């Protein structure tokens, strides 16, 4: 987001101030939105038999979700420009919890469109959280360690990617696979999403309560968050936005059909097994890579490390494409 303040004022906070609790709370946001993102893969696979729809239709889950990001990210930044990081985070958390709770009536009525609305609301809340959390982490400590601090917080986004597949396998897929022939079976399968999303809503509301009660540092008055169009004149920023577009597109595209991919390429594998075993292992490797990357940043320049990781990811994808079976599954991760 192009919402910035002067470097001096964004970093005038004395590094001796107690940033630990605010830093932990902001870092928890990375985990929470990672959980919502990774569960979309389970929903795509789960909704196909529940609503008797093709994979292409089920992928509307991703469309509705990321459309929330696309439409709300800039309004979220403007909201925080007018008010504050803290109020933006609180509003985002309330939207997140509200969308998660809408899974209850959506499941009870077995309405696909209702689920898409709920997902759009969840993603709208996440747009607030991501717009706030990424720059917020950079002011919660010393300027020279801001990139490493941000990468560390983002690693907890990866941790959610391990927890999510387990939750999906344990509560969404278990006992709800195969051909759903009767309305009773479809209702049971639809209701399977209620518990995990209700649990998420409760956790999100608890985090919102903590944010409300705890004093959070904000940029100084002279460094107030503001929209600055001139930032787009920076070629590095423009290229970074383009790189992020391709990265998120590749990540969301792969994760969205991962469970379908695994059950197709490994005949006999159930959605539950694909989620709890294969996907959880793959996302565990993702987390290890994130924390390892944080450590490498202590002595390797950021752009060089990014180039190295990008080259490795491309090579692994090519191996996955031209191989098969379990090898293809693991190399795609």
- Topology, domain 3-236: Growth Hormone; Chain: A; (1.20.1250)
Coil vs helix vs strand at 175: coil
For tokens 């403007």, what's the residue?
A: 78
Angle of helix 20-51 relative to helix 258-265, nearest 10 degrees, comes to: 50
pLDDT exceeds cutoff 60 at 211: yes
Contacts with 198 (C-beta within 8 Å, 6 or more apart), sequence order: 100, 101, 103, 104
Amino acid 8: pLDDT: 41
pLDDT tens per residue, range 165-186: 888 988 998 877 777 788 998 9
Residue ranges of the domains in the chain?
A: 3-236
Coil vs helix vs strand at 170: helix
Amino acid 333: pLDDT: 64
β-sheet bridge partners, residue 226 = 4
Distance separating the N- and C-terminal Cα atoms of the chain: 28
pLDDT exceeds cutoff 50 at 15: no
pLDDT tens per residue, range 259-279: 888 888 888 888 888 888 888
What sign has the CA pseudo-torsion 35, 36, 42, 46?
Answer: positive
pLDDT tens per residue, range 182-207: 899 899 999 999 999 999 999 999 99
């Amino acid at each position: 987001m192009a919402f910035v303040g002067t470097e001096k004022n964004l970093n005038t906070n004395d590094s001796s101030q107690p940033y630990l609790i605010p830093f932990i709370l902001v870092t928890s946001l990375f985990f929470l939105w990672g959980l919502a993102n990774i569960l979309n893969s389970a929903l795509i696979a789960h909704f196909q038999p529940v609503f008797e729809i093709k994979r292409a239709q089920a992928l509307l889950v991703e469309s509705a979700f990321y459309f929330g990001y696309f439409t709300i990210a800039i309004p979220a930044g403007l909201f925080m420009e007018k008010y504050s990081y803290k109020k933006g985070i609180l509003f985002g958390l309330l939207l997140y919890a509200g969308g998660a709770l809408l899974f209850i009536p959506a499941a009870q009525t077995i309405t696909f469109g209702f689920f898409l609305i709920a997902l759009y609301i969840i993603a709208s809340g996440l747009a607030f959280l991501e717009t706030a959390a990424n720059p917020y982490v950079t002011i919660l400590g010393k300027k020279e360690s801001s990139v490493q601090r941000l990468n560390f917080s983002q690693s907890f986004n990866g941790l959610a990617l391990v927890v999510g597949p387990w939750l999906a396998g344990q509560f969404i897929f278990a006992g709800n696979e195969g051909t759903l022939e009767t309305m009773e079976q479809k209702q049971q399968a639809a209701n399977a999403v209620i518990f995990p999303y209700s649990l998420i809503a409760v956790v999100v509301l608890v985090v919102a309560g903590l944010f409300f009660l705890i004093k959070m540092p904000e940029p100084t008055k002279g460094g107030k968050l503001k929209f600055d169009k001139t930032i787009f004149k920076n070629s590095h920023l423009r290229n970074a936005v383009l790189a992020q577009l391709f990265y998120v597109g590749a990540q969301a595209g792969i994760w969205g059909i991962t469970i379908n991919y695994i059950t197709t390429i490994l005949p006999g594998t159930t959605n539950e097994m694909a989620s709890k075993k294969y996907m959880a292992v793959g996302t565990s490797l993702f987390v290890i890579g994130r924390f390892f990357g944080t450590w490498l940043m202590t002595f390797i320049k950021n752009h060089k490390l990014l180039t190295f990781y990008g080259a490795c990811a491309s090579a692994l994808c090519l191996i996955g494409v031209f191989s098969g079976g379990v090898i293809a599954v693991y190399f795609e991760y």
